[in-house]
Structure 1
Amino acid sequence: MKVAIIGAGPGIGLAVARRFGKEGFEVSLLSRSQDRLAALVAQLGDVRAAAHAADLTDERSLEAALADIGPVDVLVHNGAGAVQALAGQGVHVGHVPISAAVVPDSPASPEAVAETHWRLHTARDLHEVVLGDLATVKAAVSSRVRR
C-alpha cells in the first residue's frame, strides 16, 4: 500500500509518515524543498520512503510529482503556506497570527489586511488541495489506461 503526503514537513507531516510507515505503507513525501525532504526521509529510518520536490501551488509541478509516484491508496493533504506579500500594497506578513499581522506604511486598516491575509491564505490552501486531488486522479487513471 502507498501513501502520498502533500506538504510533508518536520511536524505533522513527519508524524503522519511515521504512522503510515509503521503500518507498512510505502511513504511518498511531497514539499518544495528537496533538502528538507531528504532530511525527513533520513529521520524515517527503516520506513520505505521517497522524497518528491514539487511546488504545491503549481499544477504541472504537482502533477509531475504525483505521476512519478504513481497510484496511491491514501492521499494526505498537509500543505499550508503563509502569504509572503499582499500584492500592490507593500504589506508583508509572515506566518504569524492574523491578529498580530504587522502592517508597515499601509493605508489599509489592520482589520482589512487581516481579512485579506486570511482570504488569500485560505484560497492558497484550498487550491493546493484541489490540485493534489486532480493530479492524483490523473495519475491513477493514466496508470489504469496503460495496463
Structure 2
Amino acid sequence: MSTIAIIGAGPQLGRAIGRRFAAEGFDVALIARTRTTLEAVAEDLSGAGTRVGVFPADITDRSALLAALTAAEERLGPIDVLEYSPAPAPADLRRAPLVEATEVTVDSVLDQMDLYLLGGIAAVRHVLPGMLERGTGTVLVSSGAGSGPLIVPQVANVQIATAGMRNWILNLHAALSGTGVYAAHVAIAAYIGQGGHDSQPETIADAYWRLHTGRTEAELVVQDLPDDYLERGLADKFTES
C-alpha cells in the first residue's frame, strides 16, 4: 500500500487530493495546524475504506512538522508522495502582512520565508533520502502563481518567498532525473472552488494525479482568474488546501 502525506490539508484541495489518491489505493496522512479540520477531512476519506491518519502540526514549528511526518511513517509506512501546500491563517497575515513591491523590507520577506519556504525545505528533506534509497517517490509543491507565472506587485514579499520555493523545486526536478524520484511545482492562479471548472478542487486534484503518474512536467499552472483579479487584490497565498 502506498502513502501520500498532504501538508496543509484542508476542506477544499487537500480533501480532493486525498480522495483522488485514495481512489487509487493510497493511504492518506493529513498534516495541518487544526485538528478539528483534519478530523473532518479524515472522516470523509475513511468512509471509502482508506487508512487515514491525522497529524496536527504547524509548519513554522519545524520540529513539530518533522515529528508529524515521522508519526505518519510509523503508522502508515514510508511516504511515497509528499504534497505540500500550506495556507496562511488570518493570524499569520497579521504577523507577516502582505507588502507591495515598493514597500518590501528585509523583515517582511523573512516573515514570509518562514511561513512558506522553510517548512517546505524541512518536509522535503525529511522524505527525500528514503525516496532516493527506494528509487521511487513524488514531491508535489504548490504555491500561488505569483511565484513566477504571474506578476502581482501588491504582494511582492510573498512572491519573493514563493518564487524561491518554485525555483528550488524546478531545480530539484532537474537534479532528480534518472533517480526514480519526481518533483514538480504547481502554480495556482485561481480562487479554488469559486470560479469555473478549472478552479474546482476535484479538477485540480485530477491534475495532481496526472503529474504523479506522468512524471514528466516540471510545472503545472492552474489558471482560472477573473479579468479584474488585480483590482480585487489577489493575495498570492496558498489557498487553504
**Shared topology, TM-score over 0.5?**
yes
Unaligned runs of 5+ in 1: 87-92, 100-109
Q: In the alignment, is the contact (CA less than 8 A) between 1:8 and 1:30 conserved in 2?
A: yes
Contact 1:83 / 1:120 at 8 angstroms: preserved in 2?
no
- TM-score, normalised relative to structure 1: 0.69
Give, in whole Å, the separation in 2 of the partners of 1:127 and 1:75: 15
User: Aligned residue for 1:126?
Assistant: 117
The offset of 1:136, in angstroms, is 2.3
Residue of structure 1 in register with 2:57 after alignment: 54
**What is the distance in 2 between the residues matched to 1:119 and 1:60?**
19
The one-letter code sitting in structure 1 at the alignment partner of 2:60 is T
- Matched to 1:2, the amino acid is T
Code of the residue aligned with 1:84 in structure 2: it is: R
What is the CA deviation profile of residues 17-68 of structure 1, one whole-angstrom value per residue up to 9, with x for unaligned ones? 1101011100000001111111111122213211111111112101111111
Q: What are the within-5 Å matches in structure 2 for residues 1-147 of structure 1?
A: 1-44=2-45, 45-46=47-48, 47-70=50-73, 71-81=78-88, 82-86=92-96, 93=97, 111-112=102-103, 120-137=111-128, 140=130
Tell me the distance in 2 between the aligned counterparts of 1:98 and 1:9. 26
CA, structure 1 residues 60+118, in 2 after alignment: closer, same or farther (shift >3 Å)?
closer
Give the count of matched residue pairs: 122
RMSD: 2.8
Deviations 1:71-128 (A, max 9, x none): 2111001113243224xxxxxx4xxx867xxxxxxxxxx9516997566335521111
Please identify the structure whose Cα radius of gyration is greater.
1
Deviating beyond 4 angstroms after TM superposition, the runs of 4 or more aligned structure 1 residues are: 113-119
Q: Secondary structure at the match of 2:126?
A: helix
The two structures have a TM-score, normalised by structure 2, of 0.44
1:13 Cα deviation from its structure 2 partner: 0.8
CA distance in 1, matches of 2:127, 2:66: 7
Output the amino acid matched with 1:34: R
Instruction: Give unpaired runs (5+ residues) of structure 2.
Output: 135-241
The CA distance in 2 between the partners of 1:137 and 1:63, in whole Å, is 13
